[in-house]
A and B are shown apart, each in its own frame.
Chain A
Amino acid sequence: MPKVLNERITGIKWLKNSICKMTVKSGYISKYAYPGQFVNVKCADDTGIILRRPISICNVDKDKNEFDIVFMLKGKGTRLLSRKKRGDFLDFIGPLGNGFTISARNKKVLIAGGGIGTFPLLFLLKELPHSENSCCIGFRSCDNAVLVDELSECSNDLILCTDDGSLGKKGFVTYDAEQVIKLQKPNIIYACGPHEMMKEISRLANLYGVKCQVSLEQRMGCGIGACLVCACKIRTTDKNGWKYSHVCKDGPVFLSDEVIFE
């Protein structure tokens, strides 16, 4: 059950010029959150910015009762958030959403992440039961590539690429993902990244007949399922053929074959 929490920031670390890792003390989140869930963060008080910002839970440390979020500076909200200091309090709602479903039956796992979508995959990798996993991650360039060591530590095989070739291979994750699917025949794919990438991963999953869970993004208002702004198209069996579900409450993680990408 999500709660409104106000907890102390115990660490701030800049991973890159525009990417910040924030560690927050929270027994509640570290106890109840699972991979794929997010927190809805109030970036600042008394500014013209009223909405909270959804940020994935990137990592949980159950021993220290802490969790990490990693965020990229995008606009006003994330910029204000990045001005917080160690010792300040963070006002957030969480844990929110339906995250990834993990099953011990899936022995071979493919994880695919792109850009900010790679951040929640670290928590997922750490929570996966013993399995053979390959991880394909992509960033725009080396200036945006973060968490590579951490991800690499938890995966059997990490393939890194950048759009411009400044780090790892040059190209898109979806290319590497297809090679892994063909060679290793994973039982399941977990993916999080930009819309076009999710669309392509879903197509590949369908083509090769692999189960796949995708984490979607949409602009949000409340984050708790009340305002209905975060709509995404989901297949149905009725005569209409589809309906709008809501990313914050029904997702952000969906089965790829349910989602209608437009």
Chain B
Amino acid sequence: MEGMNKYDISVKIASLKLKNPVIAASGTFGFGREYVDFIDLNRLGGISVKGLTLEPRQGNKPPRIAETPSGILNSVGLQNPGVHKFIKEEIPFLRNYKTALIVNVAGSTIDDYRKMAQILDAQDVDAIELNVSCPNVEKGCAAFGSTPSGVCEVTKAVKKYLAKPLIVKLTPNTLDITETAKAAEASGADAVSLINTLTGMAIDINTRRPVLANNYGGLSGPAVKPVALRMVHQASNAVDIPVIGMGGIMSGDDAVEFFLAGARAVMVGTANFVNPSACIDVITGINKYLERHNYKSIDDIIGKLHAT
């Protein structure tokens, strides 16, 4: 808890005010319930819930995970209870806590996204994170996120129905991240978050089969951090809307790298699997960094990379 009040680490993402810049990343934190045995959810800047679809989804066949050097590949395939059950069962629970509630949504068609936006805009949630980048479902989703025109199409379609802040989550599986980031901005996104997972593969040489039943999966964890940082740096230089950075953050120092690269907030994903209090440790680590370097607030480091 040290330094909790000494430094101002609150940030604003469009109209969304976060008490601190650390958000649990979608798909790695369930609906928060799984972590109450380990941490006080009130201490988080926010929670981005497991990606939701209009109808419930069972997800892909197991095995859904493979470990790779300093990373993991997952092919969960958006297993989720559907948006209606989420509204009924999870929002009331999450609202017991004073932390921003960000709803991550995915769809196969533009119409799915539009319907979800309409439904969720009327609910007690703080922001919508548009997942146009899930690599683990056959239809839609990542297809929209991989090109500027696709990002533009989905973002415009949902923006019309949303009064709440709209975050567009970008995929690294694209030609030029600055183009998709700019497309999101131009189409009405209030912020972008990146990166989602990088598509990858692992092979068991003894069985000569892919480790994942789905063959391919999404890579996350420390292995992707350099790629994520580079993309966050590029994206924050390309757009004026806030950038939320993620990819391999395990500690406060990792998070500081993302702030220096231009991120206004960070999301912590895979680290939660290893250390259920990873988000809290990241918050503490950020405070310690500010203390060590005599900064007064998080604004003193956001985008303050010395150019070479």
Instruction: Tell me whether A and B are bound partners.
Output: yes
Please report A residues at the B interface, Cβ cutoff 8 Å. Answer: 1-4, 42, 48-52, 93, 218-232, 240, 243-244, 249
B84 close to A (CB within 8 Å): no
**SS of A interface (majority):** loop
A51-B274, A226-B29, A243-B58 given as contacts; is B72 within 8 A of A231 (CB)?
no
Q: Do A42 and B276 touch across chains, with their CB atoms under 8 A apart? A: no
CB contacts (< 8 Å) of B58 on chain A: these are: 240, 243-244
B34 (CB) vs chain A CBs: closest residue: A226
B39-61 interface bits toward A, Cβ cutoff 8 Å, 1 = contact, 0 = none = 00000000000100000001101
A4-B276, A244-B79 given as contacts; is B34 within 8 A of A225 (CB)?
yes
Which of A49, A227, A231, A249 is most buried by chain B, counting CB atoms within 10 A of its CB? A227
A1-B37, A231-B62, A243-B58 given as contacts; is B273 within 8 A of A226 (CB)?
yes
Q: Do B67 and A2 touch across chains, with their CB atoms under 8 A apart? A: no
Q: Do B65 and A221 touch across chains, with their CB atoms under 8 A apart? A: yes
B72-91 interface bits toward A, Cβ cutoff 8 Å, 1 = contact, 0 = none = 10101001000000000000
B70 close to A (CB within 8 Å): yes
A230 to B272, CA, bound (A): 16
Please report B residues at the A interface, Cβ cutoff 8 Å. Answer: 27-30, 34-35, 37-38, 50, 58-59, 61-67, 69-72, 74, 76, 79, 221-222, 270, 272-277
B36 (CB) vs chain A CBs: closest residue: A1
B32 to chain A, nearest CB (A): 9
A2 (CB) vs chain B CBs: closest residue: B37
Which of B63, B64, B74 is most buried by chain A, counting CB atoms within 10 A of its CB? B64
A244 to chain B, nearest CB (A): 5
CB contacts (< 8 Å) of A230 on chain B: these are: 62, 64-65
Q: Do B272 and A232 touch across chains, with their CB atoms under 8 A apart? A: no
Q: Do A93 and B276 touch across chains, with their CB atoms under 8 A apart? A: yes
A4 to B79, CA, bound (A): 27
CB contacts (< 8 Å) of A220 on chain B: these are: 65
- A226: contacting residue among B28, B62, B67, B71, CB under 8 A: B28
CB contacts (< 8 Å) of A51 on chain B: these are: 65, 67, 72, 273-274
B244 to chain A, nearest CB (A): 20
Q: Do B37 and A222 touch across chains, with their CB atoms under 8 A apart? A: no
A51 to B275, CA, bound (A): 10
What are 16 sample pairs from A and B whose C-beta atoms fall under 8 A apart? A2-B38, A48-B69, A50-B71, A50-B221, A50-B273, A51-B65, A51-B274, A219-B62, A220-B65, A222-B273, A226-B35, A226-B272, A228-B79, A229-B74, A231-B79, A244-B62
Q: Do A4 and B67 touch across chains, with their CB atoms under 8 A apart? A: no
Q: Do B35 and A227 touch across chains, with their CB atoms under 8 A apart? A: no
B78 (CB) vs chain A CBs: closest residue: A228
CB contacts (< 8 Å) of A244 on chain B: these are: 58-59, 62, 79
- A227: contacting residue among B63, B70, B273, B275, CB under 8 A: B273
- A228: contacting residue among B66, B76, B222, CB under 8 A: B76
A224-B34, A231-B59, A244-B58 given as contacts; is B67 within 8 A of A49 (CB)?
yes
A240 to B82, CA, bound (A): 15
A4-B275, A50-B67 given as contacts; is B74 within 8 A of A221 (CB)?
yes
A243 (CB) vs chain B CBs: closest residue: B58
CB contacts (< 8 Å) of A219 on chain B: these are: 62-66
A51 to B276, CA, bound (A): 12
Q: Do A221 and B59 touch across chains, with their CB atoms under 8 A apart? A: no
CB contacts (< 8 Å) of B76 on chain A: these are: 227-229
CB contacts (< 8 Å) of A52 on chain B: these are: 273-274
